[in-house]
Amino acid sequence: MFRHPPSLLSFISALLIANVSGPQYVYPIYGSYLYKRLAWSTFEASIVSTACFIGVSFSGPLCSWLLERLGVKKTLRLSSAIVFFGFFLVAQTYAGRLPNHFLLVTIYFILTGFAGAASFLCALDCQSRNFKQHRGLAVGMTTASIGISGLVFSQINDTLFKSEDIAIDTTLTEDATYHFLIFLAISMSLGILTGSFFLNSVDYRPVAVLPTTDQPELKSGIQFLINPIGLALFCTLFVTLGIGYVYLANIGQILQGTHPVDLQHVRNSHITLFSLGNCASRAFFGALGDVLHHKLGISRLWIFVFAVLSLIISLHHLSDLPEDLTPYTLLISMTYGISFGVAPAIITDIGNSHKAFARNWGWMLYAPALGSQFYNILFNSFDIYQIGQWSGWVILVVLLLVIYRQRTIPSA
């Protein structure tokens, strides 16, 4: 895999950049302290809490445009500056030095989400170009790195920035949350900036692989989405990532009925379990996809068939409100991880279209953004587990039809 030293250095840089490109996973660590100190309403706090995710998901086409126009290094350095100023402005708002209107803070977080998405896209794009023979493993490990960013920063917060419930009159010299926000601004910015000096596409001849059933190269953008493979992948991510995000965001509410005592500890345990399952599945199934695709000539879409079946089984049992949610948290986290770990490799596999990867992945990010909003709206009003099962069966049929179509159309 690492036949040349530059490829190893670029690989490590991609993992570093990915690990500091997940502001949406870090927000729950300090979010409650932020809205308590700034005295926001529940509605205002809910708007701010989704700002990073909105910045990440809806900025995909803009991020790909920047990457194509500026290149990897300039895009990373721009992202580094935006991340720093985004968190720095939030910290100064928290300190009372800037207006505390929730819409201003929402804008700050949207900017940090956009910067994180741009830097992560740079890492993914270089990995998909540098490791064609081991693309699934390289991309899977990169997405796994961002998947555990919340876990890494939560442990740093517990170790170095311990604080009890924040009082309004706490001085900044004693306020761990303020110092943690400054730490995020510096560490994320420096991580992306440092990686910009080493992350690059390494030009060397890839190892020959077995012929597969790849289709001719597809055009990018909207034309990619309306292609059967692109549309099937978009719909699959809409369901798997949409339901996965809603489950994670509402895990505390789901657990209230079964664990009224010590809810905080149980909730944090499930969040940690979700992070670990998410991380492990991204790396494992990314590598498995390489074996299936390159060694056996089997479509990576079969991994999504397995993921959707696992999601359907989980939702079926969750509808009965079991006391122990541990196995279902693991299954849903695995489905979530597969989606992010395997989808980028599928996009690049189609016609070996490396140049169009950034643009196509940017458009594909609309799927989790729209899916999470759709299922979040349904969560409190309908039987989300039943609707999720119906969605899963529809997606399963779509995937099988696309796989059948791949097998019946001769490869170019």
Q: Are the C-beta atoms of 178 and 54 separated by less than 8 Å?
A: no
Cβ within 8 Å of residue 174, ≥6 positions away? none
pLDDT tens digits, 221-248? 677 777 888 889 999 999 998 888 778 7
> What's phi and psi for 11, nearest 5 deg?
-65, -45
pLDDT tens digits, 164-203? 544 445 556 668 889 999 999 999 999 999 999 988 866 5
pLDDT tens digits, 39-89? 888 778 777 877 887 888 888 788 888 988 899 999 999 999 999 999 999
pLDDT of 359 higher than 60: yes
Match domain 1-208 to its CATH number in 1.20.1250.20, 3.30.2350.10, 2.40.50.1070, 2.40.420.20.
1.20.1250.20
For the chain, residues classed under CATH 1.20.1250.20 are: 1-208, 209-412
CA 239/CA 241 separation, integer angstroms: 6
Q: What pLDDT, on a 0 to 100 scale, did the predictor assign at position 309?
A: 94
CA 164/CA 180 separation, integer angstroms: 14
**Architecture of 209-412 per CATH?**
Up-down Bundle (1.20)
Query: Is the whole-model pTM more than 0.85?
Result: no
Q: What pLDDT, on a 0 to 100 scale, did the predictor assign at position 172?
A: 64
Q: What pLDDT, on a 0 to 100 scale, did the predictor assign at position 203?
A: 53
3-28: b (≥16 Cβ within 10 Å) or e: eeeebebbbebbbbbbbbbbbbbbbe
The chain-wide mean pLDDT, for the chain, equals 81
pLDDT of 152 higher than 70: yes
pLDDT of 378 higher than 60: yes
If you average pLDDT over residues 261-277, what whole number do you get?
73
Most confident of 46-60, 128-142, 306-320: 306-320
If you average pLDDT over residues 149-171, what whole number do you get?
69
